[in-house]
Amino acid sequence: MLVLTRKENESIMIGSDIEVKVLDLKDNQVKLGIVAPRHIAVHRHEVYEAIQAENAQAAAAAGAAACDLSNIPKLFPR
C-alpha cells in the first residue's frame, strides 16, 4: 500500500483525472472531497461491503440446500 501524508486542503491525484482532497480534519474525522469522472462510482467502503454480504446471502438462500421455495408463488403471485 502506498502511504502519503497530507495536510488540510492538500490532495492527491490518482491517474490524471481523479483527485482526492482533504477538506477538513477534526474530532478524529477526515472530510474528503473526491473529484472523479462521472463513470467512476464512489461509495463508502462499508456500503460496498454490506452489499457484498447481502449478495452472498441472496445466493446462499437461493442455493439448492436452502429450504423449500414452493410458497414463493403465494408470496409473489403473478
Residues 8, 10, 24, 54: which binds other proteins (CB under 8 A)?
54
C-alpha cell at 40: 467512476
User: Do the bridges between strand 18-26 and strand 11-14 make them parallel or antiparallel, or are there none, so unpaired?
Assistant: antiparallel
DSSP, residue by residue, 19-30? EEEEEEEETTEE
Give the footprint of other proteins on residues 20-39 (CB under 8 A): 38-39
15 binds other proteins (CB under 8 A): no
Residues 6+ apart with CB under 8 A from 61: none
- Report which residue type is found at 26: K
- The nearest distance, CB 49 to other proteins, in angstroms, is 9
45 binds other proteins (CB under 8 A): no
Binding site for other proteins (CB under 8 A): 38-39, 41, 43, 47-48, 50-59, 61-64, 66-78
